[in-house]
A and B are shown apart, each in its own frame.
Chain A
């Protein structure tokens, strides 16, 4: 794998501006305290980008937020110090820390949707941070400054954006505004907490470029928190790998990627999804046939709620899937890929023809569909959210049995549950536990078991791995492949992550704005994409 890393090393980069020494952070819950960060040492030098890498729950965000004392009040600091410009951030008064926040150290958060106040115009929110730290500035000067920064972060038509509300901006535009807000007082340090995770891949690349360009220009230091190693390779000068609240390794990215010393780092690097799907027989029968599928959501206006227009979430698409094959539906958020999956399962109202074997789903009534449900199942993106927290694992998995096999005795049901849990790699002894006692990967296994117990023919997998850490992802993908082979399952795999799609799908459909822009065999699409949009997607995913 060639390493693209061409950051110039500036002379003043040796000067340390932030020192974290022996920092431990605990959270107090009643009488219990949980240790989240343990004896962390970090040094941030002027003008450099330090990437803090780790899987979810490793304590990256907590460490970064403690610098500005942004943690909840239940957080306590048993040991350590955070030194910034000669002061210990942990012990200084609230007034002093407020002087630093947004002025000397800026922050960008993960969720651009919720980190802007929906009730205030962009301009007002930008100027707020100017007025806070530059009390003597006039309103006109502040306006000019806000406009200047909106231009600088590359927003189109910045003067118009000043008077826009956050909901009028797209996710990428909102993240640009957040960056402008964080940088408007020209801080020495920028803390970027997964600033691109919630964005589409093509937008991700633009935002990363922007952050890098601004750093070149202003020479600030960046503490970049991420779980995505691809980004690290692109942007970081140094990498700190975190696991269970401890820093296991700090080194130059070139070294980390080629000769990591710690086994966990190697594990992280090697868990990138790879490989190809198991070959499927081209002569298999067609299981699903979709013709002219449309899902339109009405836009209603006025008191009489007349339908003035439609949001065409899915507009006239057709495709077929053969038995035992996996069809990948690829696209960015809002392209209609999830809506298509839901339409196939009759979970929303659609027009057009959906054939499952001989059954035309759109011509059947509710009771008939309910009978068919055991043949088609779905796995959701958020594994924890798709499990009722009030039910035990055996209740969750067994729920479908009571509907589709009402005659079963409790003993038979239990045997089925135990069998299916073993199939998906869960310990049947844990079946009386509750979802909150399991990890993310195990949640997804439970969800798969719940679907599998009905012995379905096809499953819609709606981004089943995108909220999982990379190392868990590959395990879940392996499980899905294994089950497909064993039960001759047909999958529809919905994802924006082309690496995952490549390792699992036989055929691919690329969607954009509700229509299919390209469809075909996975090999062909990855090697010879025809449509510009597909090319762009592939380019950003596999640079």
Chain B
């Protein structure tokens, strides 16, 4: 029963969100892109998806096979781009290749010109300065950006909401010291610190996440704190206190739901901000480790290779598409949560 009724408010919000065509279509497109890129390995890979060889099925995506298994000479892993290996397999069976036969780190040695090579039949958007396929890198790059952004958004929201909740609910000296700490902490020159820190440690996905999280959790504190300052004086909160409810339970059951509306409204924008942070770090060369598919790095390449506009342009178009979608979704969510808005 509870669930049905709770979704009544949310259903109304969902209906309002759907009524905003721009936000709705953006969410649709964004989810489509994200789900597609989640399966990047099936779309862009230098290994075949499935091999039928000598009455047996092989799946190189999951397991690495030695060349000898297909009747080759080397004990090492099979190189499925090698014409010799291709010939061996096709003799006793067949193989299904993905649509884009390059992974993000595959170097195409059969380029039409020197790297970065312009768009061609094999490389739809050309190759970058190391001969890697741009479409493959965009696919993987989009995925890692969104995944990074989502993780960072969730983690920073959790921390931010907790910090704001505690400050707002208890008020007094906790609030004052918390506020001053956040003021000092947020006035640190974040980008420089990130650069210094990421030159001390070998940055990988999780390191970067940790470092950006250290400086990114404050975005929701103010909103949540304000909602709690307001909410803790509600009569039903006092009533819950009079019933003998413990503080954590009051916070979670009675006050937090009020703050969630504001928080959720902010989330698409935080997601956009998180992705920007990663992209700019990558652009400056302090981001993900060398060789990772990253949109920021592609932008940097575009800047270094002005003679190859397909690099910068494709990264730019993908990034601006992603951010526009996120902003439209965010606007849609914001309006959906505003009951006064009438469509």
Contacts and interface: CB of A to CB of B under 8 A. Distances in A.
Greatest chain A CB density within 10 A among B1, B235, B254 is at B235
A176 B39 CA distance: 71
B5 A434 contact: yes
Interface string B1-23: 11001100000000000000000
Interface in B227-250: 234-236, 238-246
Interface string A302-319: 000000000000000000
B184 interface: no
A385 B244 CA distance: 18
Contacts of B114: none
A251 B253 CA distance: 52
Contact of A450 (B1, B2, B238, B243): B243
Nearest to B234: A385
Nearest to A348: B238
Nearest to B239: A386
A454 interface: yes
B188 interface: no
A404 interface: yes
A288 to B, nearest CB: 16
A347 B5 contact: no
Contact of A373 (B236, B242, B257, B342): B242
Interface in A336-375: 345, 347, 370-371, 373-374
Contact of B1 (A74, A370, A392): A392
A386 B242 CA distance: 11
B236 A385 contact: yes
Contacts of A390: 6, 257
A170 interface: no
Nearest to A386: B235
Contacts of B243: 373, 377, 399-400, 403, 450, 454
A378 interface: yes
Could you say which interface size class chain A belongs to? Answer: 20 to 34
B236 A388 contact: yes
B1 A400 contact: no
A536 interface: no
Nearest to B244: A373
Contacts of B242: 345, 347, 373, 376-378
Residue from the set A380, A388, A395, A403 with the largest chain B CB neighbour count within 10 Å: A388
A432 B5 CA distance: 9
A112 to B, nearest CB: 21
B178 to A, nearest CB: 16
B243 to A, nearest CB: 4
A447 interface: yes
A4 B112 CA distance: 105
Contacts of A377: 242-243
Given A374-B244, A388-B254, A382 B5 contact: no
Interface string A384-404: 011110111001000110011
A390 B2 CA distance: 10
A345 B245 CA distance: 14
A30 interface: yes
Interface of B: 1-2, 5-6, 234-236, 238-246, 253-254, 257, 342
Given A388-B254, A403-B245, 11 more contacts: A28-B342, A377-B242, A386-B236, A387-B239, A388-B253, A390-B257, A392-B1, A392-B5, A399-B245, A400-B244, A450-B239
12 contacts: A347-B238, A347-B241, A378-B242, A380-B238, A382-B235, A385-B234, A388-B253, A399-B243, A403-B243, A403-B245, A450-B239, A450-B243
Q: Which 9 A-B pairs have the closest CB atoms?
A: A373-B244, A386-B235, A385-B235, A400-B243, A370-B244, A388-B236, A380-B235, A378-B242, A432-B1
